[in-house]
């Protein structure tokens, strides 16, 4: 499947039924378009099985709850919608995007409690999120924007509005020849990339930011479990940017990114080392088990 995302063959599950891809449209006064009242999940299906599927569906519902937006579907119904969408498109290896949002309705202002909450499920074939960086190591810029305080946003929600600075930062990074950008948080600690969590390796031990102002990714949690199973010490802590000089390896994790090594962040360089490759290969085996 290729071409513009609004002009493709296939089916999209929308509000309880499968519709033709090109007919999966919303009105211009959809509340989410104006006020970012939208939450979503990005998932990968490997050999017919969606990795951590129920956990993703549970998090979608939790994100809606945190956004004061009750999603009118159960976990089982979301699971069935994902399966129906994959089957309708004949895909066994695919990326899925499940999105729930406030649609058009009686309200058209900041408040929109009378507007329906809608949901859609899409899927398509998608290769490595960072292209050949999956093998060679991604190059990251350091974003000028910072991840905000949890007193200002619901950091545990995978909400569309939280990605505004991600888009801006990734565009700026790509203009510099980078694959992505790394954020610091509102306190100046290392936070994450625009759509992935970050890990560092030093002296055979792993260091990763505390998820106290960022999304605690499902892939992040999976990789921490893999490391601990291998008796590798994991330090979840606040990391200052000047510490990057002392780290030997770095990698990103996420449903889209999977496990991607990082070769450079700003002026700091990292090797694509044995531990990073071991975890990347182990993750690839795990998701297909």
* Domain end marker among 89, 124, 159: 124
93 and 160 belong to one structural domain: no
pLDDT at 253: 98
pLDDT at 8: 95
Q: Are 148 and 213 in contact (CB under 8 A)?
A: yes
pLDDT at 136: 85
Helix ranges (DSSP H) in the chain: 31-35, 53-66, 75-89, 133-136, 164-175, 218-229, 274-287
pLDDT at 262: 98
Query: What's the number of domains the chain is made of?
Result: 2
141 and 240 belong to one structural domain: yes
171 and 253 belong to one structural domain: yes
Residue 22 lies in a domain: yes
65 and 201 belong to one structural domain: no
Q: Is 176 a catalytic residue?
A: no
139 and 198 belong to one structural domain: yes
In tens digits, what is the pLDDT along the chain, a chain of 289 residues? 568 999 999 999 999 999 999 999 999 999 999 999 999 999 999 999 999 999 999 999 999 999 999 999 999 999 999 999 999 999 999 999 999 999 999 999 999 999 999 999 999 999 888 887 777 899 999 999 999 999 999 999 999 999 999 999 999 999 999 999 999 999 999 999 999 999 999 999 999 999 999 999 999 999 999 999 999 999 999 999 999 999 999 999 999 999 999 999 999 999 999 999 999 999 999 999 9
178 and 157 belong to one structural domain: yes
Q: Are 170 and 180 in contact (CB under 8 A)?
A: yes
What is d(CA 36, CA 13) in angstroms, rounded to the nearest whole number? 21
Residue 6 lies in a domain: no
183 and 228 belong to one structural domain: yes
Residue 1 lies in a domain: no
146 and 264 belong to one structural domain: yes
Residue 223 lies in a domain: yes
What is d(CA 91, CA 104) in angstroms, rounded to the nearest whole number? 31
CATH (domain of 207): 3.20.10.10
* Domain end marker among 73, 95, 124: 124
Q: How far apart are the first and last CA of the chain?
A: 26
Residue 226 lies in a domain: yes
147 and 269 belong to one structural domain: yes
CATH (domain of 104): 3.30.470.10
Range of the domain at 270: 133-287
119 and 138 belong to one structural domain: no
C-alpha torsion 205→225→179→32, nearest 10: -140
pLDDT at 131: 82
What is d(CA 30, CA 213) in angstroms, rounded to the nearest whole number? 29
Residue 2 lies in a domain: no
147 and 68 belong to one structural domain: no
User: How many other CB atoms are there within 10 angstroms of residue 251's CB atom?
Assistant: 29
pLDDT at 128: 87
What is d(CA 171, CA 153) in angstroms, rounded to the nearest whole number? 23
Catalytic residue among 52, 82, 139, 158: 158
* Domain end marker among 87, 102, 124: 124
147 and 262 belong to one structural domain: yes
Residue 3 lies in a domain: no
Residue 262 lies in a domain: yes
CA 141 distance to own-chain centroid: 18
Reported in sequence order, the residue ranges of the chain that DSSP labels E, i.e. its strands, are 11-14, 17-20, 38-46, 49-50, 94-102, 117-124, 138-147, 180-185, 190-193, 197-202, 205-209, 234-237, 249-254, 258-265, 268-269
């Amino acid at each position: 499947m290729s071409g513009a995302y609004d002009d493709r063959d296939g089916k999209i599950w929308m509000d309880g039924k499968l519709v033709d891809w090109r007919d999966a449209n919303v009105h211009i006064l959809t509340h989410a378009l104006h006020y970012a009242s939208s939450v979503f999940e990005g998932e990968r299906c490997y050999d017919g099985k969606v990795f951590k599927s129920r956990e993703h569906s549970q998090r979608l519902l939790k994100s809606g709850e945190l956004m004061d937006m009750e999603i009118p579907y159960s976990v089982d119904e979301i699971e069935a919608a994902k399966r129906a969408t994959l089957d309708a498109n004949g895909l066994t290896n695919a990326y899925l995007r499940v999105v729930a949002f406030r649609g058009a309705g009686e309200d058209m202002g900041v408040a929109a409690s009378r507007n329906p909450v809608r949901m859609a499920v899409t899927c398509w074939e998608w290769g490595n999120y960072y292209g050949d960086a999956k093998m060679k190591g991604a190059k990251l810029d350091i974003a000028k924007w910072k991840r905000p305080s949890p007193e200002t946003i619901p950091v545990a929600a995978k909400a569309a509005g939280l990605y505004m600075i991600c888009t801006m930062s990734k565009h700026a990074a790509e203009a510099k020849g980078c694959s992505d950008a790394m954020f610091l948080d509102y306190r100046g600690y290392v936070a994450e990339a625009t759509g992935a969590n970050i890990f560092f390796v030093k002296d055979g031990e792993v260091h990763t930011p505390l998820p106290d102002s960022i999304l605690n990714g499902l892939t992040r949690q999976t990789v921490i479990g893999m490391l601990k199973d291998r008796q590798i010490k994991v330090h979840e802590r606040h990391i200052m940017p000047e510490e990057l000089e002392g780290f030997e390896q770095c990698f990103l994790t996420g449903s889209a990114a999977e496990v991607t090594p990082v070769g450079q962040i700003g002026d700091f360089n990292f090797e694509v080392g044995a531990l990073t490759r071991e975890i990347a290969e182990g993750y690839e085996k795990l998701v297909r088990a």
